[in-house]
């Protein structure tokens, strides 16, 4: 049996503990002691979407996930192409989760990991909940205030459009220091409307628009150099 040779506590409070485990074969994993929704985590573990961190094991109050070498998207320094690619990959991760009937509930730059392999993965799955596509009312707030949709803050029924709101705030931060941010203003507005009914109804819609911007950007570039 391969032994754990090092445990580095990354975050700890009265609600949960996050550690980086290193095994004697050099493999590293993230281990969390936390409350979680096993229905959501089990589906993620089984499906293993590319743009969501892999789940290798879980119990009622703990979870073992992959360690991704890279950095989160807080204050990123991204060129224009990488910014577009990162947003598209975040969309792909959310499309996968929503397709399984799961809401993440805590989308924000610090929970998005850009790996050294160039893949963006959605992390911190302890807030994820399986709803089966239905709206739920949280008894306990899950999320981060400045990224949370109004209905989450007001303890009203929540569905996948809460993630769309958080995605809009995240896109605003990712594009804020980029000279190409103007095309994203309509997307951000469509994500962050106060009423869920006035937001985009699916992440697929957002991805399609971003993909169109991306293709047009590089089409115009190659036309210019020709």
All residues at 6 or more sequence positions from 183 whose CB lies less than 8 Å from its CB, including other chains: 213
**Tokens, residue 148:** 């949370």
DSSP tag of 158: B
How confident is the model over 200-220, as a mean pLDDT?
88
The pTM is what? 0.91
Q: Which is more confident, 176 or 152?
A: 152
pLDDT computed for residue 180 by the predictor? 54
Q: Which residues are annotated as catalytic? A: 106
What structural domains does the chain harbor? 4-66 (3.30.200.20), 70-225 (1.10.510.10)
Contacts of 16 (CB under 8 A, 6+ apart): 32, 33, 34, 35, 126
pLDDT for 119: 97
**Residues linked to residue 63 through DSSP beta bridges, in sequence order:** 32, 58
pLDDT attached to residue 2: 80
Query: How large is the C-alpha radius of gyration of the chain?
Result: 18
The tens digit of pLDDT for each residue in 77-89 reads 778 889 999 999 9
70 pLDDT tier (thresholds 50, 70, 90): very high
Average pLDDT value for the chain: 91
Say if residue 226's pLDDT is above 60: no
Return the minimum-mean-pLDDT range out of 126-130, 164-168, 221-225: 221-225
């Amino acid at each position: 049996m391969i032994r754990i040779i090092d445990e580095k506590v990354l975050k700890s409070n009265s609600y949960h503990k996050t550690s980086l485990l290193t095994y004697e074969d050099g493999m590293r994993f993230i281990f969390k002691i936390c409350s979680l929704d096993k229905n959501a985590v089990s589906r993620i573990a089984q499906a293993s979407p590319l743009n969501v961190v892999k789940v290798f094991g879980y119990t009622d109050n703990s979870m073992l996930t992959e360690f991704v070498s890279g950095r989160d998207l807080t204050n990123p320094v991204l060129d224009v192409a990488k910014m577009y690619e990162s947003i598209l990959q975040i969309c792909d991760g959310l499309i996968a989760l929503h397709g399984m009937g799961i809401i993440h509930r805590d989308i924000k730059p610090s929970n998005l990991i850009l790996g050294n392999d160039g893949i963006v993965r959605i992390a911190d799955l302890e807030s994820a909940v399986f709803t089966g596509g239905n709206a739920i009312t949280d008894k306990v707030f899950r999320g981060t205030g400045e990224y949370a949709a109004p209905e989450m803050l007001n303890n009203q029924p929540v569905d996948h459009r809460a993630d769309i709101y958080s995605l809009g705030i995240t896109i605003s931060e990712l594009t804020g220091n980029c000279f190409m941010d103007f095309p994203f203003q309509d997307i951000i507005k469509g994500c962050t409307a106060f009423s869920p009914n006035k937001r985009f109804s699916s992440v697929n819609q957002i991805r399609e628009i971003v993909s169109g911007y991306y293709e047009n950007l590089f089409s115009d570039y190659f036309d210019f150099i020709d």
